[in-house]
A and B are shown apart, each in its own frame.
Chain A
């Protein structure tokens, strides 16, 4: 009887101990979970605070760059990150705690913008570009809309404004003035139906019409004279395409490559969107058919790109500062006609039109 009682007490003790251990384990799990959750909260808080500090440090780097640009209006030299003495400030905040690691300032790029109303035009004057290389073709991209509609206008006469309903991208008219980089005289201006080498200053027009994705989107500058409509490669945003070996993902609905430009000439472009508003971008390329590498041209802005670090957190801020004259800031008034018009450029004051001008 006594034995049985002792055994029972021993069993009770074991059960109590086992219960205590189980409760302890449960509490341990709950405690560890809570501590882990709070540790995550702490880390998130620290991260967000460092991110904030890095962001405002990067903003300070941008403001510093703006100050540099505005205080040196005649010095438009790009600043890259190769010289830390100019482009970095590791001790902006408490020394070593926060600062910018790279402050890049560039004054050129690929001109882009928006033609906000139908038939609005914009002049792109890249000037003479020879460094790092001249350009030999231009990729013109336009319209970045996801609107429903057709991207293929049937061949033949262009519909009227009223008849253009249902199309998702507008036709683009490019007027291209070409002149020798080395300079020219009044007599060098091409007359009607005249092409180089008989003359060297010419104004040509190209009407580029959306034709779907099945066409190459090529505008050959050397055969512009007398040519009808040109085909623009147009389709949905995000599609993949290749131009002379370079692969692209479409940020714009349409593109066409103006080919066979020459580094011996300079060009002035006027882009006009017919019937619909449109965004546009012009990318100048070294290759004659749209290939090669991008040639940055003055685009009238300073692009400021700053990367800053606070603790172990990096933040990058990129901004554009509008400046004075650039590729898009000149010649906003020209004579325009949808039919034949006699265009007489007074290249030099008080000089009579050349005999072959036809005017």
Chain B
């Protein structure tokens, strides 16, 4: 009788604890990934603030090396939510010339199986003065199950910091 009770309690406790640990681990990893997603958002904002609006949209040159803009950087490569996507990557353009610029495809996040991708949509006019930025991220939670995903949406406008 005592052994039976002990066995049932032990088994239930193990199952519940394992499940709780997985949930907690998923939550921790999600927080880490959301922080990485914020880095990507801020990198894109910094890219906007340090370039002309035209360069932000269409790209340009740094130290003689070309880079793409948010409208021209889209490409396939690990995109999950959209056929083509981009991410911000710290790129070296020469000695002392390093900054985040848009790069095609998604990027891996700081937790196993994770990815971060950015979709940029300009307002539908000829010369857009603002773009919507949807950043999506996800990963396979510990122990399987459906993908754990999230997204952050914001807008970047031509605020004329650079003429």
The answer to the question of A30 belonging to the interface, with a C-beta cut-off of 8 Å to chain B, is yes
Interface string of B22-63 (1 = CB under 8 A from A): 011011101100100110010000000000000000000000
CB neighbours of B157 from chain A (8 A): 63-64, 66-67, 70
The answer to the question of B130 belonging to the interface, with a C-beta cut-off of 8 Å to chain A, is yes
Contact A42 B150 (CB under 8 A): no
Contact A48 B31 (CB under 8 A): yes
Contact B20 A38 (CB under 8 A): yes
B interface majority secondary structure = helix
Contact B154 A21 (CB under 8 A): no
Contact A38 B150 (CB under 8 A): no
The answer to the question of B71 belonging to the interface, with a C-beta cut-off of 8 Å to chain A, is no
CB neighbours of A34 from chain B (8 A): 17, 20-21
Known: A38-B24, A38-B27, A63-B130. A98 touches B153 (CB 8 A): yes
Contact B20 A67 (CB under 8 A): no
The answer to the question of A28 belonging to the interface, with a C-beta cut-off of 8 Å to chain B, is yes
Contact B31 A28 (CB under 8 A): no
Total residue contacts A-B, CB cutoff 8 A: 112
Interface string of B9-21 (1 = CB under 8 A from A): 1101100110011
Q: How far is the CB of A62 from chain B (nearest CB, A)?
A: 9
CB neighbours of B158 from chain A (8 A): 67, 70
CB neighbours of A19 from chain B (8 A): 2
- Determine which of A38, A67, A93 lies in contact with B130 in the assembled complex, contact meaning CB atoms within 8 Å: A67
Residues of B109-137 contacting chain A, CB below 8 A: 129-130, 132
Residues of A46-63 contacting chain B, CB below 8 A: 46, 48-49, 52-53, 56-57, 59-60, 63
Interface size on A, residues (CB 8 A): 40
The answer to the question of A17 belonging to the interface, with a C-beta cut-off of 8 Å to chain B, is yes
- Determine which of B12, B16, B153 lies in contact with A56 in the assembled complex, contact meaning CB atoms within 8 Å: B153
The answer to the question of A44 belonging to the interface, with a C-beta cut-off of 8 Å to chain B, is yes
The answer to the question of B146 belonging to the interface, with a C-beta cut-off of 8 Å to chain A, is no
Contact A45 B13 (CB under 8 A): no
CB neighbours of B17 from chain A (8 A): 30-31, 34-35
> Residue on B with the closest CB to A31?
B13
Contact B154 A41 (CB under 8 A): no
Known: A20-B6, A38-B20, A49-B30. A70 touches B152 (CB 8 A): no
Contact A70 B5 (CB under 8 A): no
Contact A52 B159 (CB under 8 A): no
| CA distance in complex: A213, B3 (Å) | 80
CB neighbours of B34 from chain A (8 A): 45, 48-49, 52
CB neighbours of A48 from chain B (8 A): 31, 34
- Residue of A21, A27, A57, A63 ringed by the most chain B CB atoms within 10 A: A63
Contact B130 A56 (CB under 8 A): no
The answer to the question of A37 belonging to the interface, with a C-beta cut-off of 8 Å to chain B, is yes
Contact B153 A27 (CB under 8 A): no
Contact B23 A56 (CB under 8 A): no
The answer to the question of A71 belonging to the interface, with a C-beta cut-off of 8 Å to chain B, is yes
The answer to the question of B65 belonging to the interface, with a C-beta cut-off of 8 Å to chain A, is no
Contact B24 A67 (CB under 8 A): no
| CA distance in complex: A5, B160 (Å) | 95
A-B contact pairs, 5 of them (CB 8 A): A16-B3, A17-B2, A20-B1, A30-B13, A41-B28
- With A17-B2, A57-B153, A98-B153 already in contact, 15 other A-B pairs whose C-beta atoms are closer than 8 Å: A20-B6, A23-B6, A24-B5, A24-B6, A27-B10, A31-B20, A35-B16, A49-B31, A52-B152, A56-B41, A59-B155, A63-B157, A64-B130, A67-B130, A93-B153
